[in-house]
Structure 1
Amino acid sequence: MKDVRVTHIGGPTALIEVAGWRILTDPTFDPPGRRYSFGWGTSSRKQTGPALDPNEVGPIDAVLLSHEHHADNLDDRGRALLAGAPVVVTTRAGARRLGGTARGLRPWDDTVLDGPERRRITVTATPCRHGPPLSRPIAGPVIGFALQWGGQEHGVLWITGDTVLFPGVREVPRRLTVDTVLLHLGAVRFPITGRLHYSLTAAEAVQLCTLVQPRTIIPVHYEGWTHFSQGREAVERAFAAAPDGLGERLHWLPLRPAQSP
């Protein structure tokens, strides 16, 4: 995507620099080693730390927070960073809990990022289901984000958020043309729920990208935690076997300051 720079900091955390804006996704900056509870008998240990400390990231204009109730999407140091963010966009339930500058969206709601000497960015919330059918009361509400601004040539920048493949997320390519997708992966599983998964598997990711047909696919949120059951190798195998050269659109950003392909 022209004039867009993406830095993958770790897990779901990425810095997106576009149209004069510096936008951070799902801030996670705690060091590794700690085990976090996710409720209902589930937990996970963080195995790797971020590529950057919060003070190395620089000024942030907005935070896109898919959900605030799981520590692998918002941890203690990430929560501290929110206090200095002019705008936080998240779920309606999350906005109520966070207060302050948080804007709460339901799926397909819009909000606008507007500021002097910058292009306006429209942020559209996209559907997520963070687990199998009927899991929302346990897993909680989650949203993804589609970003649109003046001068885009090929389509939106889409951040899927933590989701499985379900009818709501299949609606995205029916409503939007996607140029670049930040794809949350990992096939999250917990021993207490067996083979049930709570984020995209590699096979589901291929199915979703076959529907969406983005020009660029950037995997995120696939490493660094014990609750991920699939990592980079599984994703690479699945996309290498995908039709229509889909695997050639897969771009792995190094976990250090870097430009998107």
Structure 2
Amino acid sequence: MKLTRIGGPTVLVELDGWRLLIDPTFDPAGRHYAFGWGTGSTKTADPAIDVDDLGPIDVALVSHDHHADNLDDAGRAMLPSAGAVVTTASGAGRLASAQSAAPVAAERLHGLVPGASVTLAGPRPGLPTLVISATPCRHGPPLTHAIVGDVVGFAVRRQGEEQVALWVTGDTVLFEPLRRTAEELSIDVMLANVGGVRFGVTGPLRFTMTGRDAVELVGIAAPRVATFAHYDGWSHFVDGEDGLRDAIDASAASVHDRAVWLVDGRAVEV
């Protein structure tokens, strides 16, 4: 498996000939995006790869479509060209809508709730069938679902295999259903979204995992490889790259030795 970090949550995954793109974001830096309820963020880094240089995408995995740091305008515009789009059930309705700036054809769109799965046949001869399951996320403190909306992570398996080839946590805080998921899955590669998101209007409340949270989750999941995304490139990260690296450096060998750092714009074999 090769992982190429493009920026924010956006990672290109090359798995057995498949090309999967996680949370497409390709807008240039400098713009401020409103997330609702007085929250928002400014994009501070350009994507490491331009969308026009990306190449064909077999599957786009969109953890949620309603926050621009996970799906921005340029990312939304490229979705109809993907072979398939897997996202939340509510997001699928919005992405298919004629009101969308770039509607995705219904036959290419798969909306999932946590625990549900979709099976995708190999898009080219010789490629394995993949089973993609939605895993639970809570994108903020308790009782904030009405504000933050639906979010999912993704467990990607080769059909017929129990082991999860790739687990993408999605944007989430550390909470019991996430811990249980980490305990229950047999995981080869884990990609955790971190950053410790906070907003001035919400004070100390966090909306994604911190580095310390990620260390705890890696310790529970015990993947062969743990790597990380969505901890820089935006102004709303409070526990960014420094916090993550400090937490990993201070962690036990059972966590520290599993960590692999992705390089912007370069494919890393994991």
Normalised by the size of structure 1, how large is the TM-score?
0.95
Provide the rounded CA distance (Å) in 2 between the counterparts of 1:21 and 1:5.
10
TM superposition shift of 1:156 = 2.9
Match of 2:112?
105
TM superposition shift of 1:239 = 1.7
Match of 2:214?
205
Match of 1:92?
89
Query: Which one of 181, 188, 191 corresponds to residue 172 of structure 1?
Result: 181
TM superposition shift of 1:178 = 1.0
Distance of aligned partners of 1:93 and 1:150 in 2 relative to their CA distance in 1, 3 Å threshold: closer
Paired-residue identity, %: 47
Distance of aligned partners of 1:130 and 1:213 in 2 relative to their CA distance in 1, 3 Å threshold: same
Q: Does 1:230 align with 2:239?
A: yes
TM superposition shift of 1:257 = 2.3
**What SS does structure 1 have at the residue aligned with 2:228?**
strand
User: What does the per-residue CA deviation read over 1:136-191, in whole Å, with 9 as the maximum and x for residues that have no partner?
Assistant: 10001000001111597964310000000011111213331111111101100000
Query: RMSD of the alignment, in Å?
Result: 1.5
Aligned partners of 1:125 and 1:145 also within 8 Å: yes
Q: Which amino acid aligns with 1:81?
A: M
Query: Which one of 74, 83, 105 corresponds to residue 71 of structure 2?
Result: 74
Aligned partners of 2:170 and 2:193 also within 8 Å: yes
TM superposition shift of 1:203 = 1.3
Q: Does 1:160 align with 2:160?
A: no
Q: Does 1:126 align with 2:135?
A: yes
User: What does the per-residue CA deviation read over 1:186-217, in whole Å, with 9 as the maximum and x for residues that have no partner?
Assistant: 10000000010000011111111111111211
Query: Which one of 15, 22, 29 corresponds to residue 12 of structure 2?
Result: 15
TM superposition shift of 1:233 = 1.6
**What SS does structure 1 have at the residue aligned with 2:19?**
strand
**What SS does structure 2 have at the residue aligned with 1:80?**
helix
**What SS does structure 2 have at the residue aligned with 1:22?**
strand
Q: Which segment is superposed worse, 239-248 or 131-140? A: 239-248
Aligned partners of 1:236 and 1:247 also within 8 Å: no
Q: Which segment is superposed worse, 240-249 or 49-58? A: 240-249
Query: Which one of 222, 225, 233 corresponds to residue 216 of structure 1?
Result: 225
Q: Does 1:195 align with 2:199?
A: no
**What SS does structure 2 have at the residue aligned with 1:66?**
coil
User: What does the per-residue CA deviation read over 1:75-133, in whole Å, with 9 as the maximum and x for residues that have no partner?
Assistant: 00000000111210000000011112221000010101113411001001000000000
Normalised by the size of structure 2, how large is the TM-score?
0.92
Provide the rounded CA distance (Å) in 2 between the counterparts of 1:150 and 1:75.
31
Provide the rounded CA distance (Å) in 2 between the counterparts of 1:19 and 1:151.
15
Provide the rounded CA distance (Å) in 2 between the counterparts of 1:41 and 1:13.
25
Provide the rounded CA distance (Å) in 2 between the counterparts of 1:125 and 1:168.
12
Structure 2: which 5+ residue stretches go unaligned?
Answer: 97-104
Aligned partners of 1:123 and 1:146 also within 8 Å: yes
Provide the rounded CA distance (Å) in 1 between the counterparts of 2:63 and 2:191.
12
Correspondence list, 1:42-81, <5 A: 42-81=39-78
* Divergent runs of 4+, >2 A: 150-156
Provide the rounded CA distance (Å) in 1 between the counterparts of 2:259 and 2:64.
25
Structure 1: which 5+ residue stretches go unaligned?
Answer: none
Distance of aligned partners of 1:154 and 1:91 in 2 relative to their CA distance in 1, 3 Å threshold: closer
Aligned partners of 2:5 and 2:262 also within 8 Å: yes
**What SS does structure 2 have at the residue aligned with 1:15?**
strand
**What SS does structure 2 have at the residue aligned with 1:7?**
strand
Provide the rounded CA distance (Å) in 1 between the counterparts of 2:157 and 2:116.
13
Provide the rounded CA distance (Å) in 2 between the counterparts of 1:9 and 1:153.
29
